[in-house]
Structure 1
Amino acid sequence: MVSSADSPLVTIAQGTARGVRFEGALVWKGIPYAAPPIGHLRFRAPQAAAAWEGVRDCSVFGPIAPQNEHGPLPIDPGLTVDEDCLSLNIWAPEGPQNRPRPVMVWIHGGAYYLGSSAQRMFDACDLVERGDVVVVTINYRLGALGFLDFSSFSTAEQPFDTNLGLRDQIEALKWVRANIAAFGGDPADVTLFGESAGGGAVTTLMTSPAAEGLFHRAIAESSPATSVYGSERAASIAESFLELVGLAPAEVGRLRDLPVDVLTAACVELVQQVPARVPGTLAVAPTVDGDVVPHYPVAAFRHGLAHKVPLLIGTNKDEASMFRLMKSPLMPITPDAVHQMFVAIAADNPDLPVDEEQQVEAAYPDYPKRRSAMEISRDAAFRMPTLWIAEAHSRVAPTWLYRFDYATPFLRAARIGATHGTEVPYVFGNFGVVPRDPTFKLGGRRTAAHVSDRIQRRWLSFASAGSPDGEETETPWPRYDETDRATLLIGKADAVVADPDRDLRRAWGEEVIGFT
């Protein structure tokens, strides 16, 4: 149990951890949940964390996963980058408790090659104080070290495991199951939530046998659920990476000896190359390996193979505008790139109707204007996979669908709108933590606070009671089903609309469209 000292102490099997009191919460940072994945453990499944002697200082974040330190996600001052990155952070409410508290475990996004649990936006003080929950945020391996699959080049002498980033997340969830009670959390009441690649991890883990029973509810925000590829594509991308670092496939074992900076730099180059060659694909992503990921996740949902836990899932209205603003190659945003995407999808899916591209494009009246191209890309990457999952999962478990439409006056004026990731500060209640953030240049902070209030109430009600319609919510949010397709539109006010994306849904069709 948590001690009452000024610096809260908790004793678990690994040892005693000293945290801090901060803004109404008890906080422990940088607790290792697995052994350092270095040396012979580089490119191997995570191993159990070792015990420590004495009292471990858990007042600062642990190192974050190796990544481009000058990339699109700035790294906060004071953080270190290191392969020894498999740690987690815990926020718990102060004060007495009558029962074990619900637990929420957050998986950060970043296209599987960027980000960390230490981003200031993910500070959970507001959530735990408001919701009387325990929040856990985790680091996991990224980029080449976490989401490139070298298993096709494995030998008995040089083995390589698959889906290392996902395996890390599963190991973290096992740690939570074993230890969270000491922090006041209920290991039998865990909600897994994440955004972007984190949302993709959530929907993928919902189909992973290795994750069964480790969480009991799920929230997937802007999940790129179809960005999970087969072993053949994974092997091709891994071979491209080997070329970038100057190694032949027979020399794959030398990857364990290369400096981590070399691997990171090559990964950044690969991230640019792959979507340029095949628009709509990612260089680093989960792989269907027959083990951790036995099936393509969306197909698994369609066949009723996902874990039958309650699911809250949705997207943002203007997902793709951020990628245009950042000139990112991760999403095709021009008519030519969209056409190339459809050509590649058709090659991967020979059973698709020959006029599939024309049928989809006809649903966007302004096509081929750039904005409509971005809308097609948005729907291919996020909205349609989310609708396919919601439709399938609603047959076997409680499911709620949302669309985040709210944008501040500045974001509307800049034609950015409710773009990718803009809902995250509303979930955590953290605004103004990004340096030089222009979001409120033209006002709107008060309205944003009201939107955040409503979102937090729903997310916390879902985590605590299994439904986003708690006592404090004003607009009832019905479950999603194939009859009404009720969708919560989150704007200045909440509104429930039946099948708001009907025309788009019908144009894309019933069959899952994605890369293999």
Structure 2
Amino acid sequence: MSANEATLIGAANETEPVVATSHGLVRGVHGGDVYAFKGIPYAAPPVGPLRFRAPELPQSWDGVRDATAFSRIAPQPVMAFVGSKPREMSEDCLTVNVYTPQLGDAGLPVMVWIHGGAYYVGSSADPLYDGSRLAAGGAVIVTFNYRIGPLGYLDLSSFSTAEDEFESNVGQKDQLAALAWVRDNIRAFGGSPDRVTLFGESSGAGAVTTMMATPSAEGLVHGAIAQSSPAGSVYTRETARRSAERFLQRLDVAPGDVHRLRRLPAAALIEACNRLIVDTSAAEPGTIPVAPVVDGELVPEYPLTAMMRGQALRIPLVIGSNRDEAMLFRLLRSPIVPNTSKAVQLMVERLGTPEALAVPSGYRGYPRLRPALRLSTDAAFRMPTVWAASAHSRYAPTWAYEFDFAPPLIRVAGLGAMHGAELAHVFDTHVPKVVAAGAVSAGRRLTARMQARWLSFASIGDPNPVGMTPFWPRYDTERRSTYVFDSRDRVVRDPRGELRRVWGDDIIAFR
């Protein structure tokens, strides 16, 4: 079967629909208003000689493959997240999940989700990312697993030899492979390969903004939504090599013996990487040793720089951040984002430039904890968002937002609109205990508005559904109109402009 022959086989079988993909038949389930297909391979298992290499096409299969349950997730540290449960891990994890309200050639808009997790945790199986309710609004939702941590975002390419090649950015290459699968197969699931919106949160949003600076993504993506993108967390090959050297030291592997990494158990690699991440975050706040790399090939330029020069994909973009991002990392005691006064001060000192050293003067009360956390939020998420919106808006339609909503008890606790707080509204996957904390009806109405905005953008390239108010104007560097999601949505011109001016227009980031 050719790549363009993905077709619906069993439309008449409502409860167990069967679809033909380019590599074989898959059987899903139908529940409520949505069909769901899970665990469909989009690439071969990246094991043995394929570890640390670009993904290859999966083998075709005979018969009908069961696609009613999630596949195993990418190897990662065992961590507990609200609403999730431990799942079996395996390097054989490169699979997609499809949620759709219609099967066959319906031409629906497609939304492809990249999960977050600081490039080293997370999966598409997290209940928070269940695409059923979003799909019921009239789009095909695709989620997928990709390689993370040392297997996906540790750059060992500088240790390659003629006999043994290690590639950079293999996690990003997995994402490209998933997008290629969507192009070749999504018609049979009701979607249009010509209306694909790539969206993600946190490192998933960082992957989105990096994909916008990836020339080979041209034609695979037609719109982008970046929710809390650490767009500046993309590093040089020299920085990546230093991280790789420290990783090898933790495994007691000499650079000349790097080939041994193909034979070590994945668990050993994950443990060494986890220690490296913790140590790096403590010693070098604001950096993470596993992240996309400007390799001159897949990613030829820093995403923010590419946007400034008009070299990024000139596609419509929705981009934003949450008002109190750093509070989640404070709550979880996670060093990934600096969340103590000492760590924030060390981050500023490490940036080192006169412009960076002047930034704290704009935060009244600094270095006390609250202003320090506001600075950390701005450094990691808000200012990269502003820089990206400012740059991209010169070349393509751009809309900026800020998410400010938090139930009353969450606000009273001092947590506010933390990192990831918008996710339950985008997917309508509310955790009951969080919803019960107050403002249930206001939260539900906000969910309906966010979903309508996201679906409108996916459908027509504009987040303004007919008749919805307030009108969300495009972002430009004169007005800097920003849509604020809250109990009552509003449009604000240049929110906290005084702090934006303290940071300036030049990109301040670790490289």
Which residue among 221, 225, 230 is the counterpart of 2:231?
Answer: 225
**Pair 1:16 & 2:16 matched:** no
Aligned to 2:98: 90
Q: Secondary structure at the match of 1:147?
A: coil
Distance 1:448 1:385, change over 3 A: same
Aligned to 2:4: none
Q: 2:103 touches 2:189 (CA, 8 Å); kept in 1?
A: no
Structure 1 residue ranges without an equivalent (≥5):
347-351
Distance 2:116 2:32 in 1: 25
Deviation at 1:78, TM superposition (A): 7.2
Distance 1:452 1:222 in 2: 18
Q: 1:480 touches 1:486 (CA, 8 Å); kept in 2?
A: yes
Q: Secondary structure at the match of 1:431?
A: coil
Distance 2:391 2:45 in 1: 39
**Pair 1:463 & 2:470 matched:** no
**Pair 1:52 & 2:47 matched:** no
Map 1:46-445 to 2 at 5 A. Answer: 46-69=55-78, 71-73=79-81, 76-77=84-85, 79-94=87-102, 99-130=106-137, 132-346=138-352, 352=353, 354=354, 356-357=356-357, 359-432=358-431, 438-445=433-440
Distance 1:425 1:249 in 2: 44
Residue by residue over 1:166-200, the C-alpha shift from the partner in whole angstroms, topping out at 9 and shown as x without a partner, is: 00000000110011111111001100000000000
Q: 1:73 touches 1:115 (CA, 8 Å); kept in 2?
A: no
- The residue identity in structure 1 corresponding to 2:317 is L
Deviation at 1:438, TM superposition (A): 4.1
Q: Secondary structure at the match of 1:30?
A: strand
Distance 1:191 1:355, change over 3 A: closer
- The residue identity in structure 2 corresponding to 1:345 is L
Aligned to 1:349: none
Structure 2 residue ranges without an equivalent (≥5):
1-6
Distance 2:46 2:284 in 1: 31
Distance 2:81 2:55 in 1: 26
Q: 1:61 touches 1:79 (CA, 8 Å); kept in 2?
A: no
Deviation at 1:4, TM superposition (A): 1.9
Distance 1:440 1:474 in 2: 25
Aligned to 1:446: 441
Structure 1 ranges of 4+ moved more than 6 A: none
Distance 1:75 1:450 in 2: 22
Residue by residue over 1:422-456, the C-alpha shift from the partner in whole angstroms, topping out at 9 and shown as x without a partner, is: 10010001112xxxx64234322111101111101
**Pair 1:511 & 2:506 matched:** yes
Deviation at 1:22, TM superposition (A): 2.0
Q: 1:410 touches 1:439 (CA, 8 Å); kept in 2?
A: no
Distance 2:104 2:342 in 1: 60
Among the aligned pairs, what percent are the same residue?
49
Deviation at 1:96, TM superposition (A): 8.6
Distance 2:19 2:102 in 1: 14
Q: Secondary structure at the match of 2:196?
A: strand
Q: 1:18 touches 1:58 (CA, 8 Å); kept in 2?
A: yes
Deviation at 1:94, TM superposition (A): 4.1
| TM-score, structure 1 as length reference | 0.95
Q: Secondary structure at the match of 2:434?
A: coil
Map 1:463-502 to 2 at 5 A. Answer: 463-502=458-497
Residue by residue over 1:46-99, the C-alpha shift from the partner in whole angstroms, topping out at 9 and shown as x without a partner, is: 001110010000000011000112x253794473210001000000104898x4
- The residue identity in structure 1 corresponding to 2:251 is V
Distance 2:102 2:471 in 1: 31
Deviation at 1:412, TM superposition (A): 0.6
Q: CA RMSD in A?
A: 1.4
Distance 1:77 1:405 in 2: 28
| TM-score, structure 2 as length reference | 0.96
- The residue identity in structure 1 corresponding to 2:454 is W
Distance 2:455 2:476 in 1: 22
